[in-house]
Every structure is written in structure tokens, then in C-alpha cells.
Amino acid sequence: MSERLLRLLSERQGEYVSGEAISKQLQVSRTAVWKQIRKLQEKGYRFEASPRLGYRLLEAPAHLEPEEIMSKLSTKRLGRRIERLEAVPSTQDIAHQLAAEGAPEGTLVLAEQQLKGRGRMGRGWVSPRGKGIWMSLVLRPRLALPFAPQLTLLTAVALCRSLRRMSGAEIGIKWPNDLLIDGKKISGILLESTAEEERIRYVIAGIGISVNLEADDYPDELLQRAVSLRMATGRSYDRTALIVEFLDELEQLYDLFAQEGFAPIRSLWEALSVSLHRPATLTTPQGVLTGVPVGLAESGALLVRLGDGEVRAVFSAEMGASSSGR
Ligand code: BTX
């Protein structure tokens, strides 16, 4: 009920709504409304209450609140269960545990701070308290394991489109999953899959967005390569609004993918990519390749034109120097 109450009051954007109107709309007693208001106040919401006019929402808490996120979402599945934690080693571990216990698709784990946030290949992810979005989402796609990279690309497209809309910044995707502004990383995606006989059981999509970090939140050596939305655009952002925009976008693309396959996602990715049509060095498990990435294969692999004209599909690699630094 507190989710519906919040939705009602925030839709009125600071206007008063009478206690009677609220109790009618939510079909509960006026005492029940008052009790919910008290509960929300304890969580950091500020309301003005007038005996004549009713209630109006003045301010939402600065920390992330599952009810508030859910009250604003338009999704059917993604983010319909949210676990919010203060400080954890990594949201990935919690999401794995919940998924193994049967948590439904769309379950979201959010933390204000990560003490051991992780990137790919054993790298770390800087996750200071209250400044960014550090979250892991449980997905249960009907997909064979070799196609899992398509989901990484799909997530990058959803993240890039939603962050562009909210910030107006020129954000591009560096293959396979980094989001960059002017060559500096603002967001990273880490997909971890669990499979049984080549079929995916579940995927944990870990997403880190450096939202309101300032220069001294990063170790010095990272400042060359990393930037936050706030540092890039000069203003701070409401993290709840960014999460809502991203989950709404992701669910739409995820449904499109289920209905029409990877082709429409591939076109969207190619349009947002900053990795295509410029020479790059790719360090693959099989060795180093130099060539020009020209697009994506149906599988999600990167197509690279080599010096002799051959086009090679690359499934996993570190993309180096020529397009932008890591
Ligand atoms: P990646 O391996 O592509 O990127 C890791 C690299 O990114 C680091 O080595 C460092 O250079 C840089 N980096 C570290 N922290 C930041 C930051 N806050 N902003 C920008 N650049 C940074 C990308 O891995 C995948 C990252 C996923 C992070 C999410 S957060 C929620 C979930 N939980 C968890 O432990 N990981 C995921």
C-alpha cells in the first residue's frame, strides 16, 4: 500500500491530496493512510499534513527506497522485487544466492556501497556510498549459453539509451559493454550466467553507473579513464529516476528481443557504438588481432576486418588503445 500511496502523492507533484481522496482511491481507512504516512516518514520522506487540505509530499529521502522505485516503474517484471542493502561486498553475490533459491526474473539487488565491487577478469569496481548505482538483476532468458553475449549487448543498449535521455550527454558504447563519455568510462556491465547442459538457468546482470561521484571519490590513477555523469555534465542526478528509466527501457528491449530476436538490438547497438570503423587492437584468448571492427554478427560476436580482408568473428577480447583506453 505504501507504494500506491507514494505513487498517488508523487503524481500530484507537491500538491495537496485530501485524506478522504486518498482513502477512497486506495480503499483503506483514513487511519490506515495516516499510519502509512508515519511509516514513510520514518524512512526519510517529508510530508506536509494539513487538517483541511490533506497531505503533500515535500521530499523523498536521498537514499534509495524500493517502494519509491516500484511506485514509479512501468515494468511488469523487472524490478518488481527489490532488495536494498547498505554495504555489501558485491551485489552480484547476493543476486546469485537469491536466484539459486528461486527468486523470480526481474528481482533487483541494490546497494548503497560495495566493498568488493567487481568488474570483468578479476578487476575491481569502485563503489562509494550513496554516490552511484550499484545493482544486480536476476534474468531468466530462454536462451542457449553461446548466445549470452547478446544479453550483454542488449543491456548496454538499454543503459546507453536511458542515460542519454536523462542526461543529454553524448554517451557511446565501447565493445562489448562499456559506456563512455569522451573516451572515459561512466558505466560498466558484468553478466554472469549459470547454465545446465548449454541452457541458461539464470543470468545475473551487474550494472554499475557512476552517477554523482566527484574527482576525490576515485583513486588518482582511475581519473584518466573514468568519469561520473555529474563530473561530465556539471549537475547531480536523482538515482531513483535513472534506475526507473533504465528498467523501463530494458524491459521493452528484452521483450522486443524475445519476440523478434537479436536483429533489432544489433542495429541499435551499432548506431550507439564508438568501436566501429576505426582500427583497434583486440587481445583475445587465442592471441592479439589488429583490424577494423565493422559490425556485429547475429550471435553477438564482433566482426573485425583483418589486414588481408578476411572478416573474423571475435567473441571475447579486450579492445585496446586505438579506440580508447581502459
Ligand atoms: P570492467 O572489467 O570492464 O571494468 C573494470 C575497470 O573499470 C577497472 O579496472 C577500472 O579501470 C574501471 N573502473 C572501476 N571502477 C569504476 C567506476 N566506478 N567508474 C568507472 N570506471 C571504473 C565492468 O568491468 C563491469 C563493472 C560492473 C560493476 C557492477 S556494480 C554492481 C555489480 N556488482 C559488482 O560487484 N559488479 C557489478
> Is 120 known to sit in a ligand binding site?
yes
pLDDT digits (tens, 9 = 90+) for 14-29: 789 999 999 999 999 9
What pLDDT does 326 receive? 39
What pLDDT does 2 receive? 80
What pLDDT does 323 receive? 40
**Residues 41/47, Cβ–Cβ less than 8 Å:** yes
> Is 114 known to sit in a ligand binding site?
yes
What pLDDT does 3 receive? 82
CA distance 3 to 224: 42
What pLDDT does 321 receive? 56
- C-alpha cell, 164: 542519454
Please list, in sequence order, all residues whose beta carbon lies within 8 angstroms of the beta carbon of residue 28, skipping any fewer than 6 positions away.
1
Ranges of the chain with pLDDT below 70: 321-326
- C-alpha cell, 303: 566482426
CA distance 30 to 54: 11
Nearest to 266 by CA among 239, 303, 229: 303
Four-CA torsion 233, 174, 164, 127, nearest 10 degrees:
-60
Residue nearest to atom 17 of ligand 1 (CA): 126
What pLDDT does 198 receive? 85
Ligand 1: which residues within 6 Å by Cβ?
90-92, 114, 117-121, 123, 125-126, 134-136, 178, 185, 188-190, 206-208, 210, 222, 225-226, 326
Pocket test for ligand 1, best of 83, 114, 125, 239 (most atoms within 8 A of CB): 125
- Residue 97: strand, helix, or coil: helix
Conformational region of residue 287, where left means phi above 0, alpha means psi within -120 to 50, and beta covers everything else = left
What letter does residue 63 receive in the DSSP assignment? S
pLDDT digits (tens, 9 = 90+) for 246-258: 999 999 999 999 9
Nearest to 244 by CA among 47, 60, 49: 60
Strands (E), the chain: 46-50, 54-59, 82-88, 108-114, 133-139, 171-174, 178-181, 184-196, 199-209, 280-284, 287-296, 302-306, 311-314, 318-320
